[in-house]
Amino acid sequence: MIYTDIDKQKSAFIFELDNVIYPEKDYLFQVYYLFASAIEYTDLIDAKAATDLMVNTYLTEGAALVFERVKEKLGVQEKYRKNFDDLLLTVKLPLKLLIYKKVLELMQEIVIDRKKIFIVTDGNPQQQLNKIRQTEWNGLEQYLTCYFTQESRPKPDTDVIELLLKDHNLQRREILMIGNSVKDELCAQNAGIDYYDVSAILELN
């Protein structure tokens, strides 16, 4: 999909954040690196080994088990769990988060055409806002309106979509939702709005 392929009646575009606008691993891997560096300093645990283990755990078992694995395999103390969780929420990243090239191009064309961009994102609002603030938006930030589903009910519930429609006086036929998961697709179906799976264009990056 390119912008010129999109139905011209679409005047508003809803994006999820993680793995739709940018790769979530770019945020998490920097957190892992910083956490590993901190415990190397305090507990003399090899930072490279810790980082490699956390990255591998994320890739093979998922983010939820990352701390458990460094605790089990490297002897990281339980008392550091809070430090790890806090870092996930509030980290100041060494490197800005970069938008997928094809998605950036799409968003820029939406703005040039004077249409609206919304981010409707699941997850902890504090963490998601921290990600948004540390993304390199290339000037797009002034055109974004963000909604956090945890402030009502997460997708595939449609509470946030209904609020967005009301806030901006939009009709369902005017909206295209862009996501990357079954949950995103179900949310769009439940809300009666069109949906596009971003993975189809990310494969072109």
The owner of tokens 């979530």 is: 24
Long-range pairs of 1-8 with CB within 8 A, sequence gap ≥ 24: 1/106, 1/196, 1/200, 1/201, 2/106, 3/105, 3/106, 3/109, 3/110, 3/113, 6/176, 7/176, 7/194
Give every CB contact of residue 44 below 8 A, 6+ residues apart in sequence. Answer: none
201 φ/ψ angles, rounded to the nearest 5 degrees: -95, -25
Asked if residue 176 lies in contact with residue 164, where contact means CB atoms within 8 angstroms, the answer is no
Percent helix, strand, coil in the chain, to 5, is 55, 15, 30
Strand order in the sheet with 116-121: 144-148, 116-121, 12-15, 175-179, 194-197
Whole-number pLDDT of residue 200: 79
Whole-number pLDDT of residue 204: 47
Return the bridge partners of 197, or none: 179
Instruction: Report pTM.
Output: 0.93
Asked if residue 99 lies in contact with residue 202, where contact means CB atoms within 8 angstroms, the answer is no
Average pLDDT for runs of 10 along the chain of length 205: 84 97 97 96 92 98 97 95 97 97 95 97 96 97 96 92 96 96 96 93 61
Please, what is the average pLDDT of the chain?
A: 94
**68 in helix, strand or coil?**
helix
